Structure 1
Amino acid sequence: MLTSDESLNNLKSYRQHIPNRRKRQYVYLGCIGLVIAFTLAYFSILSVSKSSKLVQEPTVNRTQLSSSPKINLLDPSSYLNGPPTQAFRDNLRPDAKYITSWISAGWTNDVMTYINLIYLALITDRIPIIPMFTPSHIGGDKPTIDFGEVFDVQRLAEGVGIPILEWHQVKNRSSDVLDDLGCWNTWEAVQDHEAFPRRSVVPNYLKLDISYTKTPSWIKVIPHYEHDRHAYFWALASLAFPEGRQENLKPPLESPTHHTLLPPDEQVLCYDYLYYVCALQPFEFEFDYSPAWRYVGQHLRWTERLETIADEYVRTAVGALDSPTAPPYIGIHVRHGDFKNWCGDVPVQDCFASIPIIARRVEDIKTELRESRGITVEHVIVTSDERDDSWWEQVADQGWYKIDHTGTAERYGAWHPVLIDAVIQSNGVGFVGTDRSTMSIIARRRVQSWRNGVVRTVKWGRVGADDH
């Protein structure tokens, strides 16, 4: 314990040091002030310099690409050696890198697969080469159809800001050359029921003999979970770069015909299947943040030809052929068909949503359009795979319209009934879809992104499923 004299001496000593402390504080503050002043001056000069440089040397971004008529991202001469060749490698530029993949599902799922492929091209700085669509949903005896016959590839390329190639631009359709190619096998890494890469007929159409290398298991979103098969975009993207590729090479499988053993190709990056891919969580096309939809899918617009045909079908259905364009309408997509297999022990009539339940969602949309946008919509158009005439009679009783596809396949081709329906679903100011249907999911996204439309999804599977 200090005495009173010791305390007093300490207090005097402290007071004697106060001026020196204050001097040091002033010096510190002065130094700090100078540092701040010099920093502000530096960044001010830097900002002016950057602004001046931007004026003198404008950079090209995606917005500029989408609005500039001078930039033709579809000019193959910039990304290929020339016209399609017998062997695809002969047409690849040595200074370019590419990416491709195959489809192996129904048509809408295949569209989503190609969207994922193009998004992966964006994040790996590669040029996507898109194959054709195969007739998995309309019968194997039907012809394939080119990606560019369905979608406006020029508009897509300008929207995403990278070139988009199709395989028929790279390799001659009539070629008899069987090309060797090394690819990544994702399928075995995300599921345990099939001990081989995802099977697809696309390599047969393209005459490719593929040697697959299995990807590491860490690409899977939910490890050791058998009920989901998704991989992460960036996990797959890491395999596109030299270090990630080299660190994960394993002995490849023999190609089926030439029995070659090839590691994944470095110039033409390829994966067996890209439907089950996500950024954050499985099946994220259902969510508005989906990067694959935001950066790619919303730019995937129909060809002008398909738009014109679909518009005529709508005007015919609603009795407005004399009008120059179709009137505003609400689209409905009701998926039944094979969905009855998911009903289990629930009778189909209790499993699927009834017409009155769907009508309730239509009224929701009409009310929202009227109250929030001042739009009154009278026309409702139904598309469905339902074949029960009595069900369609209920549709007619609601005053709703059906698209008549009598003669569509004969007039336009076997692909067009489903293509026309998809265009019609996307062009309404409102849309009612079927829960768990990918066709409904994509139609809903299109109506929201393209039309700023109002959408609803009808739940099903049991009585009262849509009561909310």
Structure 2
Amino acid sequence: MGSSSHYQPLPTSSEDDQLRAENLPVLIYRKRRGVNWIRIIQILSLSLTASCLGWVGYHYTCGAFLLSPQAIAAKQIFLSPSQWDNQIEKSPSYVNHSRDSEPVVNLVSPRPFVNLEADAETVESKTNNIKSSTSNPTLPNPYLFGNFFDQLESIEKTRYVTAVPLGGINNQMIGTFNLMNLGRHSSRTVILPPITPNEHQSASIKGRSYSRYYDLPQLTAQTGIKLVEWNTLRNQVPELETGVYAWTKRHWQLASNPLTCWVASNMGGPKEDGGRSISTRFARGLMLDIQPQYAPGDLKKGSWRSMAAAVKFLETNSSTRSLGEVSKDVGCLTESYWLDSPTSTPDTHSLIKHLRFTDWLESIVDNLIARALGTSVEKIKSGQVKFITVHLRRNDIAAKCQPAPKNWETLAATEYNSDLHKRALSDFTPTEPLTSVARRSLAKRKADWTSCHFTDSYVISRVNAFRKKLKQPNIPVILTTDDTSVSSLALFDIQPNWHRFDLAKFSNDEVYDGFDSVMIDACLLTRGVGFLGTGVSTMSRLAANRGRFWYSRHAEIF
């Protein structure tokens, strides 16, 4: 019959069962009315058999059509606007995700987070004999946790700049200084990334805000640099993976805000170097879908490490998006760690001088120092008790030692190397066992790696010489170190008036996460009348400069 052309083809029985099993959260049925079968029966004198066959054809033709979230997301099925409005509550989304054209944004507010599980339960209750394994959101939604774009000022008021973090906590700090200077030189408001989980500190996936540890309002007042934090813009994203956030663990980009970032290493550099440092931890923690984009091929102004090239790049390349009639500008680089200029050193020193720790962190450190030295907090705050601080970084930093250990390029992984701590002695010959001679040679190279030229006796002699230089040979020493050698630590512990700082030992009942512990060390190392640090450690160099600018403190490097 001609009327059969009005109906959509149905999935086979096996396809239908598969779709139902794989796509529980959303069941969308499309029904279409056929022609009036009664009129057909009246016109045609069909036999009872033909009528039954017609009824069976009608049943299958008008059957429900099952759609999956994946089919909808891939635009395999197209609903008219009116049908879509009737079926699904709208969420703000980009209609066009092409990087070659400006995205159009739906202005409807996102669905409340609290309704997602309830919606899933409603769907489950309406689905007979279908078991839902999790309360997934009903659709992949890049604005599941809100849209940071909504919270930004219009282009008439300000433009923004941000960058993806790189490295451990202290190297992230260097990148942050560069980002702040980039904001200052380009007259843009800096969107400050959080201190992001890294190879040294896993902690919470979202990371900690700099404002927890640093007095950002004072920095803005002293330097004029305008700041806003990513954790403020993405405050709807949970701290931990729970509920719907846990559902996004594997396919988190489906629920992430898109963010285009220019590949910084292509600013005058080879394209092959681009994008190598994009941190999925940063993107995952804030639910941002980082979309790296290479700079135009004709950009050859300075090297990709040039601050001037970055400023010029932001001036000449559009990073503007439109939200209805409102335009906003967010310039993003895949990294800012390597940005350099003739004024980098004084610019960074200016930031170090004005970026002080919060009173909260300083108060914690006052109490911990008092406990470590067995004195009162009042005497620490008033400066009545004198002491020096020492930062001894060993083991994983040994590759940077000068002179480097012999054959350091082929040294085996050690338990001290956080990147390789799960590797075994045989990692360098995975297909065949090591001979006893090779194993002894490998063990010796490991010993060279872990000791470098900072032997225990060398460290002790340098510390004592430093005390004599201050004309206080018995002044208390507070030592912080990553060394895990039992014999080395035991030797340091028996030195006269040495106090090895152990947060777990001195924190009593207070609980601090991995970020807190590092920042407590960083704050502690700025204290005292003198400082002795490890030259190849960023943490030591920062501590030396902070003590010099804040307290006019004397510092030396191993």
Report how many residues are paired: 337
The alpha-carbon deviation at position 134 of structure 1 amounts to: 1.6
Structure 1 counterpart of 2:458, which letter?
I
Does the 8 Å contact 1:109/1:438 carry over to 2? yes
Cα-to-partner distance string for 1:245-284 (whole Å, 9 max, x where unaligned): 37xx9xxxxxxxxxxxxxxx97111111011122139xx7
In the TM superposition, residue 354 of structure 1 has moved relative to its aligned partner by 2.5
Superposition deviation, residue 384 in structure 1: 0.6
The reply on whether 1:447 has 2:547 as its aligned counterpart is yes
Contact 2:162 2:332 in 1 (8 A): yes
Pairwise mapping of residues 33-432 of structure 1 onto structure 2 (< 5 A)? 86-94=146-154, 95-140=157-202, 142-143=204-205, 144-174=207-237, 178-189=256-267, 190=269, 194-200=273-279, 201-215=281-295, 218=300, 221=303, 231-241=305-315, 244-245=316-317, 267-280=329-342, 290-321=345-376, 323-325=378-380, 327-341=385-399, 343-345=405-407, 347-348=448-449, 351-363=452-464, 365-370=466-471, 378-399=475-496, 400-406=498-504, 408=507, 411-432=511-532
- CA offset at residue 421 of structure 1? 1.1
The 2-side partners of 1:191 and 1:213 are apart by 14
Would the alpha carbon gap of residues 131 and 266 (structure 1) be closer, same or farther in structure 2, given more than 3 Å must change?
A: same
User: Contact between 1:239 and 1:245, CA under 8 Å: does it hold in 2?
Assistant: yes
Q: CA deviation at 1:364?
A: 5.1
Which residue number in structure 1 is paired with residue 33 of structure 2? none
TM-score by length of 1: 0.64
Alpha carbons 1:361, 1:456 under 8 Å: kept: no
Preserved contact between residue 433 and residue 440 of structure 1 (Cα < 8 Å) = yes
- 1:349 offset after TM fit, Å? 7.0
Distance 1:172 1:314, change over 3 A: closer
Q: 5+ unaligned residues in a row in structure 2: which ranges?
A: 1-144, 239-244, 246-254, 320-326, 408-444
Contact 1:133 1:145 in 2 (8 A): yes
CA distance in 1, matches of 2:541, 2:335: 20
The structure-2 alpha-carbon separation of the partners of 1:410 and 1:134, relative to structure 1 and needing over 3 Å to count, comes to farther
Is the 1:104–1:110 Cα contact (8 Å) retained in structure 2?
yes
Amino acid at match of 2:391: H
Tell me the CA shift for residue 193 of structure 1.
6.4
SS, match of residue 361 in structure 2: helix
Alpha-carbon deviations, 1:432-468, whole Å to 9, x = none? 111211111111111111111111111xxxxxxxxxx
Q: 1:359 to 1:293 in 2, by over 3 A?
A: farther
Give the 3-state SS of the residue equivalent to 1:301 in structure 2: coil
- Which amino acid is the alignment partner of residue 380 of structure 2? T
Deviates more, 1:126-135 or 1:324-333: 324-333
| Contact 1:232/1:280 (<8 A) preserved | no
DSSP-derived class of the 2:375 partner: coil
Q: 1:257 maps to what in 2?
A: none
CA RMSD of aligned residues (A): 3.1
Partner AA of 1:358 in structure 2: V
Structure 1 residues 89 and 195: alpha-carbon distance in aligned structure 2, compared to 1, 3 A threshold: closer
CA distance in 2, matches of 1:296, 1:322: 29
Q: 2: distance between equivalents of 1:106 and 1:393?
A: 28
| SS of aligned partner of 1:205 | helix
Structure 1, 339-348 or 393-402: larger mean CA deviation: 339-348
Q: Compared with structure 1, are the counterparts of its residues 380 and 191 closer, same or farther at alpha carbon in structure 2 (3 Å cutoff)?
A: farther
What SS does the corresponding residue of 1:172 show, helix, strand or coil? coil
Letter in 1 for 2:355: L
Q: Does the CA-based 8 Å contact 1:119-1:295 persist in structure 2?
A: no
Supply the distance in 2 between the matched residues of 1:158 and 1:194 (Cα, whole angstroms): 38
Counterpart Cα distance in 2 of 1:137 and 1:350: 22
Structure 1 residues 333 and 139, CA gap change in structure 2 (3 angstroms):
closer
Q: Output the amino acid matched with 1:339.
A: I
Tell me by how many angstroms 1:324 deviates: 3.8
Q: For residue 10 of structure 1, what is the aligned residue in structure 2?
A: none
Question: CA–CA distance in 1 between the matches of 2:212 and 2:501?
Answer: 22
Alpha-carbon distance change, 93 to 384 in structure 1, aligned in 2, over 3 angstroms = same
SS where residue 381 of structure 1 aligns?
strand
> Quick one: distance in 1 between partners of 2:346 and 2:377?
41
**Matching residue of 1:32:** none
Structure 1 counterpart of 2:375, one-letter code: A
1:321 is displaced (CA, Å) by 3.3
Cα–Cα, structure 1 residues 196 and 99, in superposed 2: closer, same or farther, change >3 Å? closer
Instruction: Give SS of 1:390's match.
Output: helix
Distance 2:286 2:516 in 1: 23
Deviation at 1:389, TM superposition (A): 1.9
* Amino acid in the other structure paired with 1:423: C
Q: Is the 8 A contact 1:427 1:447 kept in 2?
A: yes
Unaligned segments of structure 1, at least 5 residues: 1-84, 222-229, 250-264, 285-289, 459-468
Closer/same/farther in 2, CA of residues 218 and 364 from structure 1, 3 Å limit: farther
1:350, distance to aligned residue in structure 2 (A): 6.0
Change (3 A) 1:195 1:166: closer
Query: Which letter maps to 1:208?
Result: L
Letter in 2 for 1:403: F
Distance in 2, matches of 1:456 and 1:427, equals 14
Between the aligned partners of 1:380 and 1:193, the Cα distance in structure 2 is: 48
Identity %: 24
Aligned residue identity for 1:390: S
Matched AA of 2:552: N
